[in-house]
Structure 1
Amino acid sequence: MNNQDIQVTKTSIILTTGIYDLLKEQIKKKKLNRLNEEKLEIELKNAKQVLNRDLPNNVVTINSLVTVKDLQTSEEIIRKFVSPQKARRKNGTTSILSAIGIATLGYAEDAIIQWELPEGIKSFQILKVSRLT
């Protein structure tokens, strides 16, 4: 499947205020490449901010178990997103500020997203989101 054939989800992302501020900080510190920075700025401009208790359970946030499908390869990837301080490869956890973490933050199940990763622009569909306890 070609990236040009993929219909990216156009809905606004939903974030808690804390995650919103964390993402703004990533832009301020120039932690992203230019393409992702521009995309994230647009997403944040249109983002809906909610209290943690009002965040729908099917939206990617910190402390989420997320299954995404790479739309080019059909590979399914499962990630446990945690805070950067708690991310440990040996525990099978991934920082919410990793490339795939930032790409999926605020999107709900079934959303299709594109993000530039080290290996190029990738398209993903979020298949399942659940909260870690």
Structure 2
Amino acid sequence: MTTSIVLSTGIFDLLKDHIRRRKLSKFNQVKLELELRNARQILNKDIPADVVTVNTKVRVKELESGEEATYVIVPPAKARNKHNNISILSAIGVAMVGYSQGSELSWEMPEGVKKFRIEEVTRLN
């Protein structure tokens, strides 16, 4: 069973371009291509408040360790690690985009494939 992610057309195009530039591991590329094939594209203003997109604050839990982190997902040009503002094109940003609060997902990080649950999503604008 594949969960259908929800994306704005702009984010959809950004992710397609990210794949074309070969910025992902093979595991993540195949996963993202499948997600995009099944994605539901809607207008940015119609994206539900509990779906991860640009300008959302996300609390995520790594399921194996139980470790939680909070990130603010921003456009690539506004990413600043010291404020936990991370690019939508960062590894965790791409992993979570389009998923809603409560979703569980797997994504290959530098230290291997990790499983995450999106605990809370807050729209910032």
Q: TM-score when scaled to structure 2? A: 0.97
Tell me, yes or no, if the aligned pair for 2:76 and 2:89 is still in contact at 8 Å.
Answer: yes
Q: Which residue of 2 aligns with 1:53?
A: 45
Alignment-mate amino acid for residue 63 of structure 2: L
User: Does residue 72 of structure 2 align to residue 76 of structure 1?
Assistant: no
Q: Distance in 2 between matches of 1:39 and 1:66?
A: 21
Q: Which residue of 1 aligns with 2:19?
A: 27
Please give the secondary structure, in 2, of the residue aligned with 1:42.
helix
Alignment-mate amino acid for residue 27 of structure 1: I
Unaligned 5+ runs, structure 2 = none
Structure 1, residues 18-58: CA drift from partner, whole Å, max 9, x if none?
Answer: 00000000100101011100000000000000001110000
Alignment-mate amino acid for residue 122 of structure 2: S
For these two proteins, the number of residue pairs brought into alignment is 125
Deviation at 1:91, TM superposition (A): 2.9
Unaligned 5+ runs, structure 1 = 1-8
Q: Which residue of 1 aligns with 2:93?
A: 101
Moved over 6 A (4+): none
Determine what percentage of the aligned residue pairs are the same residue: 51
User: Does residue 110 of structure 2 align to residue 128 of structure 1?
Assistant: no
Deviation at 1:11, TM superposition (A): 1.7
Q: Which residue of 2 aligns with 1:13?
A: 5
Q: Which residue of 2 aligns with 1:116?
A: 108
Tell me, yes or no, if the aligned pair for 2:70 and 2:84 is still in contact at 8 Å.
Answer: no
Please give the secondary structure, in 1, of the residue aligned with 2:101.
coil
Please give the secondary structure, in 2, of the residue aligned with 1:85.
helix
Please give the secondary structure, in 1, of the residue aligned with 2:76.
coil
Structure 1, residues 41-98: CA drift from partner, whole Å, max 9, x if none?
Answer: 0000000000011100000001110000100011111001101100012333111110
Q: Distance in 1 between matches of 2:24 and 2:32?
A: 9
Deviation at 1:10, TM superposition (A): 3.2
